[in-house]
Structure 1
Amino acid sequence: MTWQLRRAKADDVQAIMTLETRIFVNDAWSADAMAHDVVSPDCYYLVAFPPGRPDRIEAYAGLLAPAGAHEGDIQTIAVSEQARGHGLGRTLMLSLITEARKRGVREVFLEVRADNPPAQELYRRLGFEELGIRRGYYQPDNVDAIVMRLHVPDPEMMMTPAESAPEATE
């Protein structure tokens, strides 16, 4: 499969929320919270879509990394059911990590559902380590969150998304 990535904008929030509420049924973000983060200068959100179809968002991901902060947080990442299994989640994560490094972030944190082994494995392969558990973090399902951290690698130690997972191939 082939996708293009671009920075998310306010006009994308409706499409992002369509995916958000379909994928994260019980613990989806509110449209207001998503709209705030998508346009915040402290955040960096990307959307992925098939070439020539910028209106058909298949995935999105967001990073919170305020200027001057040495810590960042992967706020969210979601890939539509039909786009999974082709490296798109990895490409989005590598793009967020690259942006975090550009912003001077030295550590990136995230929470992942304890009942989502595929996501946990992706994060481990990217170098994230488990720090602990937040019991009952995801409500109303009462699912634990695994807290993970990545020490952001120096540029020469990290492949860019283009080097590791070209957008135009799969």
Structure 2
Amino acid sequence: MTTPVNPVLREMRWWDIDPVLELEKNLFPEDAWSRGMFWSELAHSRGPTATRRYVVAEAGERLVGYAGLALAGTAADGDTGNGSDAGPGAGADVQTIAVARDHWGTGLGSVLLTELLRAATAFECAEVMLECRIDNIRAQKLYERFGFEAIGFRRGYYQPGNVDALVMRLTTASDSGLATGPTSERGTEING
């Protein structure tokens, strides 16, 4: 019997796109991101003007999860565009979190979300927003454990299928930054 390998997080790079796409298509077959979408996100993830943070989780030599965050405009002005004009008080959007099915329930979703919230703190964000499929209860429970609150819906957001999105927000927990861990022990792990 082999001992399970604990996943290790690292920055997502261009050579990760193929294994990320494989996992993306397995978990989100109807609304998977394209290669171009990942290339575009990674193009904004390095250097002094970076507005993105993307990470992958590897167990041995296998990619078992990934996550991404995008910096948005300032929370005060309501700007949701991406760009270098964002600074202290800005918001961020969780773009994606995905965990391989055989790693569901292991805490990897929490680890990935914690890393995104650390990045939001580094970007000096006042809030983090995300959209979650209305029928993805496991993911909603994870986000709630971290202090995210439902603030609205986006009707027909996920296509095909015309599935609504639940919009959730996490605001700064204190002057020291965003919450970086679960706020309670209840709930379940993200399912991708």
Q: 1:94 aligns with which of 114, 119, 123?
A: 114
Point out the more displaced range, 39-48 or 60-69: 60-69
Counterpart Cα distance in 1 of 2:18 and 2:108: 21
Aligned residues: 158
Counterpart Cα distance in 1 of 2:109 and 2:123: 21
Q: Give, in angstroms, the shift of residue 11 of structure 1.
A: 0.8
Does 2:82 align with 1:63? no
User: Structure 2 vs 1, CA of residues 86 and 140 (structure 1 numbering), >3 Å: closer, same or farther?
Assistant: same
Aligned to 1:110, the other structure's residue is in SS state strand
Q: Which residue of 1 aligns with 2:25?
A: 21
Q: 2:8 aligns with which of 4, 17, 27?
A: 4
Structure 2 spans left out of the alignment, 5+ residues: 45-49, 72-82, 183-192
User: Structure 2 vs 1, CA of residues 159 and 150 (structure 1 numbering), >3 Å: closer, same or farther?
Assistant: closer
Counterpart Cα distance in 2 of 1:31 and 1:87: 27
Taking structure 2 as the reference length, the TM-score comes to: 0.77
Counterpart Cα distance in 2 of 1:92 and 1:113: 18
* Identity score, percent: 40
User: Structure 2 vs 1, CA of residues 143 and 159 (structure 1 numbering), >3 Å: closer, same or farther?
Assistant: closer
| AA of the residue aligned to 1:32 | G
Counterpart Cα distance in 2 of 1:77 and 1:117: 14
The answer (yes or no) to whether the contact 1:64–1:72 under 8 Å persists in 2 is yes
Point out the more displaced range, 10-19 or 37-46: 37-46
Q: Which residue of 2 aligns with 1:46?
A: 55
The answer (yes or no) to whether the contact 1:13–1:38 under 8 Å persists in 2 is no
Does 2:101 align with 1:81? yes
Structure 1 spans left out of the alignment, 5+ residues: 162-170
Q: Give, in angstroms, the shift of residue 35 of structure 1.
A: 1.4
* Structure with the higher fraction of residues in helix conformation: 1
Q: Give, in angstroms, the shift of residue 30 of structure 1.
A: 1.1
Taking structure 1 as the reference length, the TM-score comes to: 0.87
Q: Which has the higher contact order (CA 8 A, sep 6+)?
A: 1
User: Structure 2 vs 1, CA of residues 46 and 117 (structure 1 numbering), >3 Å: closer, same or farther?
Assistant: same
Aligned to 2:124, the other structure's residue is in SS state coil
Counterpart Cα distance in 1 of 2:113 and 2:91: 16
CA offset digits 1:77-103 (Å, max 9, x no partner): 100000110100011001100110111
Aligned to 1:57, the other structure's residue is in SS state strand
The answer (yes or no) to whether the contact 1:19–1:80 under 8 Å persists in 2 is yes
Larger radius of gyration: 2
